[in-house]
Structure 1
Amino acid sequence: MGAPVATAEGATCVSYNLFGVCTLWAESPADPGDGGGSRSGSNDGPNGVPIMQIEGHYCMPTGLADPQPPQSEAVWEGRTDGAIYVCEVPAGRGGMFVVGYLISYWSLTAPAAPPDPETLAQQAVASMELQAVRIGIVPEAQPGSVGLVGMPNWMWVSAPDAPTFGPITRTASAGGWSVSATAQVASVSWDMGDGRVVTCAGSGTPYEASYGAASSPDCGHTYTRQGDYTVRATSHWVVTWSGIGQAGTISLDLTQATDVTIGEAQVLTQ
């Protein structure tokens, strides 16, 4: 693209996209030996390596340019030390018209690679301290509470909150890089202890005495034999995360258990 173009702020354009628009400005370091490198914006990443952004999106350092461009290229800015490195703007993140391209920039030393975004996402999830659901069920799990064979049982998440049902959002950072994650329970599977598993999309409806012998509108079960059953409620968490130019999902299951007693009506009336 010819000679570098200096700005009023003293920065120089060292890389252009296919449309002739400057995509990377470099600040001339006071001391060429300080490993300053090129930067876009003012954020610094790990070990002082610049975080370069284009139109609000990260570009990802990918290593040495191969082959190295001739030292007559503008990106060198007349330097003879250091090397030219490449930073990638991920496909679909460079604007409406540019669907992925590379930026070349100078650095005295090899830039530190950004942290693994999924590792930061896992750290964000760990900081949420997610918990299994609190079980609400009729018959209640307490002495003297007995359900009946053939009568509806109700299951629900008792007092759902952010740690037990979501949504909950946390951010993890390392050296200037950040990843944000949001967790939400997608469904709850109720293993009723009799070989049946009931999957409920929501938190269920808490039972009230006024409902009588009605069935739960969204999360219920009917036992066909008397006995003592262990009910296990497994909440299926879905975590969506994004950062450092990437995004993904993490699945996580947490289980809580309780016991219920089911009896025959004729036995209870004797």
Structure 2
Amino acid sequence: MLVQVPVWLWVDEETWRPESARAEVPGGSVSVTAAPRSADWSMGDGEVVSCTGPGMPFVVGRDDPAAPSPECGHTYTRASAGEPGGVYELGLDVTWEVTWESSEGDGGELDPLVTSSSAEFDVVESQGLVEAAG
């Protein structure tokens, strides 16, 4: 990643979908569904980017690499070289809305579920060199 170049953030659509499970016992059943609702990206530079959806994937040839993401993104303003280990640790917390329903018609919401993941990235500066012809 480069300083001052927009970073597009997104969660793969295969991951950003509701998940359901059903348990049956004699005389009844219960279904539980967890649906993703928000993504909080800890960028490693002290910034947190909160997105209400999965974000939009960057597509080469369709999207302008100099343009910020229209849905979820961040622009680093300094390199990671001065950080411990020389990298930024990027973290992602996805909050899931959890609901349940029984075969008897009961149902409701449970406490939200948060799943987390992280990765390390180098953020570097790129500088051009102009040489005068002589």
TM over 0.5: yes
Q: 1:224 aligns with which of 69, 77, 92?
A: 77
**Separation in structure 1 between the aligned mates of residue 123 and residue 90 of structure 2, nearest angstrom:** 12
Q: 2:19 aligns with which of 161, 168, 178?
A: 168
Runs of 4+ in 1 over 4 A off after TM superposition: none
Bigger RCO (CA 8 Å, 6+ sep): 2
How many pairs align? 119
CA offsets per residue over residues 104-141 of structure 1, 9 Å max, x none? Answer: xxxxxxxxxxxxxxxxxxxxxxxxxxxxxxxxxxxxxx
The Cα shift of 1:174 comes to 2.5
Q: 1:153 aligns with which of 7, 17, 26?
A: 7
Partner of 1:203: 54
Partner of 1:255: 116
The alignment's C-alpha RMSD in Å is 1.7
**Separation in structure 1 between the aligned mates of residue 60 and residue 19 of structure 2, nearest angstrom:** 33
SS of the aligned residue for 2:35 comes to strand
SS of the aligned residue for 1:149 comes to coil
**Separation in structure 2 between the aligned mates of residue 242 and residue 168 of structure 1, nearest angstrom:** 14
- Is residue 101 of structure 2 the alignment partner of residue 242 of structure 1? yes
**Identical amino acids, percent of aligned pairs:** 40
**Separation in structure 2 between the aligned mates of residue 180 and residue 173 of structure 1, nearest angstrom:** 9
**Separation in structure 1 between the aligned mates of residue 59 and residue 105 of structure 2, nearest angstrom:** 49
The Cα shift of 1:181 comes to 1.8
| Alignment TM-score, normalising by the size of structure 1 | 0.41
SS of the aligned residue for 2:123 comes to strand
**Separation in structure 1 between the aligned mates of residue 106 and residue 60 of structure 2, nearest angstrom:** 50
Stretches of structure 1 that go unaligned for 5 or more consecutive residues are 1-146
CA contact (8 A) 2:17 2:36 kept: yes
**Separation in structure 1 between the aligned mates of residue 16 and residue 9 of structure 2, nearest angstrom:** 15
**Separation in structure 2 between the aligned mates of residue 207 and residue 166 of structure 1, nearest angstrom:** 19
CA contact (8 A) 2:6 2:65 kept: no
Stretches of structure 2 that go unaligned for 5 or more consecutive residues are 81-86, 130-134
**Separation in structure 2 between the aligned mates of residue 190 and residue 254 of structure 1, nearest angstrom:** 12
Q: 1:264 aligns with which of 97, 105, 125?
A: 125
**Separation in structure 1 between the aligned mates of residue 100 and residue 16 of structure 2, nearest angstrom:** 17
Amino acid at match of 2:72: C
